[in-house]
Structure formats: C-alpha cells, structure tokens
Structure 1
Amino acid sequence: MKITLGPLIWALHFVCCYGVVAVTCAKGWDYGTVRAGLLIFSAGALGGIAVVGWAAWRQWDVSHTADPVNRLGRAEDRYHFLGHAAFLLSIISAIGVVFVTLPLVLIGGCQ
C-alpha cells in the first residue's frame, strides 16, 4: 500500500486542482482566493509526499546495508526494494505536483 501513496496523493491533487479551477472559471468565483487555497493545498500535497518518501527511504535502508542493489533476493531484500521503488515514485509524484501547480503560479486568472 505504501508504494501507491505518493502517486495517489499526486492524482488527487491533479483532479482537485483542475476541477476546482474549472468550476471557478465557469461560475465566475474569485480566482485569487481559489488560487491561494490551491497553493496551500499543493504545499500540503508536497508535504504528504515528503512524508511518504521519508518513510520509503527509511524502509530502503541503504545507509545501513551499504548495498543499494540487494542481489540476494531474500525477503528482506524484497522489502528494501519496495522501499526503493516507493521512494522513487515519491520523487516522481513530487515533480508531478510541482508541474500541476505551475499554472496556478504563472497564469493570472481565467482566460
């Protein structure tokens, strides 16, 4: 389950941001207030992904084993591999959140 949390946070962030902006532009709501709320929401999403990434980093435990590859295939190695994969997915998810947030920062309002 932990391996899917980073992408899940990104997906929820993506749907919420684009959905709220679409409704805001369609209904004529105040874009500045909605933008501020979504920027706070984006910071929270990045924080959540950072927590997931930190937990995955600790599960990977490369600093204690000094073996980033884990070639032996033991159960412990598979556990470390899942931590490694979750950590990398967290990085990709954080990049996704940043790219979804860029239009909020760069676009002045409903066009």
Structure 2
Amino acid sequence: MTDEHQPRRDEDQKEFAEEHASLFKITLGPLIWAAHFVACYGLVAVTCAKGWDIDAVRSGLLVASGAALVGIGWVGWVAWRQWNVAQTGDFVNRCGRAEDRHHFLGHAAFLLSIISAIGVVFVSLPLVLIGGCQ
C-alpha cells in the first residue's frame, strides 16, 4: 500500500457490499440455467408418465425458456457494465487493486452468463425437435 490510503469504515462496507453483489451475479446465471434444466426435464418426465397434454407443456416450457434467456441476458448485461472493458480497455486486470477485482468479477459473471445462455438453448432443443413422449 504505497500510494493508497487506508479505507474508512464506510468505504470498506461499501466495497464489501459491491463485491457481495458481484458474487451473487456470478451465481445467478448458472442458477437460472439449473432451475430451467430441472423444470424442463422434470416436467416433461412427469407429463409423459401421467399422460398429460405434451403440447401444452411444451408451449409453457418454451415460454419459460424465453424468460430464462431474458433473465440470463439481463445478468450478462449488468456484468458487462461492471467489467467496464469498453472504458478501461483492460481485458486482463493484472493488478490486485479492489477496482481490478471488481472488474474481474464482472468479467467472470459475463462469461458464465454466456455459458448459461448456451445451456438454456441446448436444454430447449428437445422441446422443439422431439415430437412427443415414447
């Protein structure tokens, strides 16, 4: 800590709150993907076992897939803004400053959002491509 000052208590609490929110953003994209996965495969399995109308369930799950993609897209957009690569031009964030850690957490959340969106698309493909039960 050569050029930096010791943080005051309110600065320290603000930084902790921002990093806590960043950690929540990292988990939110994969959590939406996991909930979507369980809902799709679980509901289709129950529908086929009980003999319910698969077309109605398929329509509802496709709407849920769209909602999951919108949610993941929102998380990705917020993470992109936190990463702030457009203004800083720093893709790597090599320094160990608090600002670099904040940008890195945004970067990680953005990449996890991309992976989660791909996961939602792949989980939704059987809803579109497979005709029904059996």
Look up the SS of the partner of 1:69 in the other structure: coil
**Identical-pair percentage:** 78
Per the alignment, residue 24 of structure 1 pairs with 47
Show structure 2 runs of 5+ residues with no match: 1-23
The Cα of 1:21 is off from its aligned counterpart by 0.2
Alignment of 1:56-75 (within 5 A): 56-75=79-98
TM-score normalised by structure 1 residue count: 0.99
Counterpart for residue 96 of structure 1: 119
Q: How far has the Cα of 1:72 moved from its partner?
A: 1.4
RMSD (CA atoms) = 0.5
4+ residue segments displaced more than 4 Å: none
| One-letter amino acid of the structure 2 residue matched with residue 25 of structure 1 | C
Bigger-Rg structure (1/2): 2
Please report the TM-score for the alignment, with normalisation by the length of structure 2: 0.82
Q: Tell me, in whole angstroms, the C-alpha distance in 2 between the residues paired with 1:82 and 1:9.
A: 18
Query: Could you say which structure has the greater relative contact order, defined with CA pairs below 8 angstroms and 6 or more residues apart?
Result: 1
Listed one character per residue, the Cα deviations across residues 56-109 of structure 1 (whole Å, up to 9, x for unaligned) are 000000001011111111000000000000000000000000000000000000
Q: 1:33 aligned to 2:53?
A: no
